[in-house]
Chain A
Amino acid sequence: MAHQAHAYHMVDPSPWPLTGAIAALLMTSGLAVWFHFHSTTLMILGTILLLLTMFQWWRDVVREGTFQGHHTPPVQKGLRYGMILFITSEVFFFLGFFWAFYHSSLAPTPELGGCWPPTGITTLDPFEVPLLNTAVLLASGVTVTWAHHSIMEGERKQAIQSLTLTIALGFYFTFLQAMEYYEAPFTIADGVYGSTFFVATGFHGLHVIIGSMFLAVCLLRQIHFHFTSEHHFGFEAAAWYWHFVDVVWLFLYISIYWWGS
């Protein structure tokens, strides 16, 4: 960095885009091989490669930012744009599943009994565990905001505690949802109701797990003094993602659990 006359980041050559691309190839072709030849080797190999790539690539981003000082204000601005655009793409991803749900539920076909919920489907009571799940995620939104303010005010202990609480709430949501999946009186194979329910809530649950992992990494970084009160974009990105996950749940709850019951 002492040799550049600009504030931008010219990254070192890196092998991770290649390993990530090959991981994607192995996972997708592995999926096909699993379907047709009952062997999971290729897919598992791809998943391991993906995990190795993610670990090393993001480890390098932390090294470049925190230890080498490459994340100057213009660079950070680019990272912010990147995260916002990524979350926007995820919004569109979920939009598709909500489209599928409303397409099927607003004009239920005769095959379903002409009604929604379809004939024979016992829906989950929206005022039992789903309502608790809503409270859990809303509370986690409060605790992550508390964590942010603690970081900005240099309150190390409070930041660690509130961030830990946020992650605990995230895990609690996942646990409750797993219980619900186990106990549900319908499955993914139960017509379009089952499909829309489990695909939409399933992808949401996956995003809760991803968000919890992101927050957990932030917790480790906060413990290791990576964040300062002025500069903690990794945490902000995790918090944005977490709020996005929370909002998706609210839409899921209102549409599928409440209106759809």
Chain B
Amino acid sequence: MYYRLNAVTQRLTGAPATVYNPQGLRPGVPSVRPPPVFVSPTKLASEAGSQVEYLGANRVPDLQKVFQRSDGVPVHLKRGLIDKLLYRTTMGLTVGGALYCLVALYIAAQPRNK
């Protein structure tokens, strides 16, 4: 959301007509596909023909729905299981690696007897 604060009255005014609206982001509006902003406005589906779908359809609105769910999950875990697995692997390597590093440095610090 993008509000405007009136500095004089110290009150929030509603979103102005020229509010910044990133692609398809419409908070509070139920899932409706936004108009295709990726095709130039002068091109009609009938005219564009084979150009309408080039290398797959636009899945961004669906992904926006997924990532804007108000479930309190942080963004790095928002996709569910795959995120959790990757996070745990990374954290495992981080903690394990840090311990391995400390051990290696301790060993490296031992004097070498000639």
Which residues of A line the B interface, CB within 8 A? 1-2, 4-7, 12-16, 18-19, 22-23, 25-26, 29-30, 32-33, 36-37, 41-42, 45-46, 48-49, 52-53, 56, 60, 63-69, 71-73, 153-157, 160, 223-226, 228-229, 231
Q: What residue in chain B is nearest A222 (Cβ atoms)?
A: B55
List of B residues within 8 angstroms of A6 by Cβ: 3
Is residue B7 contacting chain A, with contact meaning CB distance below 8 A? Answer: no
| Cα A242 to Cα B108 with chains together (Å) | 41
Query: Within the complex, what minimum Cβ distance (angstroms) separates B111 from chain A?
Result: 13
Q: A1-B68, A29-B105, A66-B64 are known contacts; what are 20 more A-B pairs with Cβ within 8 Å?
A: A5-B3, A5-B5, A12-B75, A12-B76, A15-B87, A15-B91, A19-B93, A19-B94, A33-B104, A37-B108, A42-B97, A45-B93, A45-B100, A49-B93, A66-B60, A69-B64, A72-B22, A154-B39, A224-B59, A228-B37
Q: How far is the CA of A136 from the CA of B114 in the complex (A)?
A: 55
Do A36 and B5 touch across chains, with their CB atoms under 8 A apart? no
> Are A60 and B104 interface neighbours, CB within 8 A?
no
User: What's the interface size class on B, roughly?
Assistant: 35 or more
Partner pick for A63 among B20, B54, B67, B90, CB 8 A cutoff = B67
CB of B27 within 8 Å of the partner chain: yes
Closest A residue to B77 by CB, please name it: A12
B2 touches A7 (CB 8 A): yes
Chain B residues within an 8 Å CB radius of A160: 54-55
Decide: B56 and A223 in contact? CB cutoff 8 A. Answer: yes
Separation of A6 and B3 alpha carbons in the complex (Å): 7
Q: Which B-chain residue is minimally distant from A29 (CB atoms)? A: B101
What A residues does B28 contact at CB under 8 A?
2
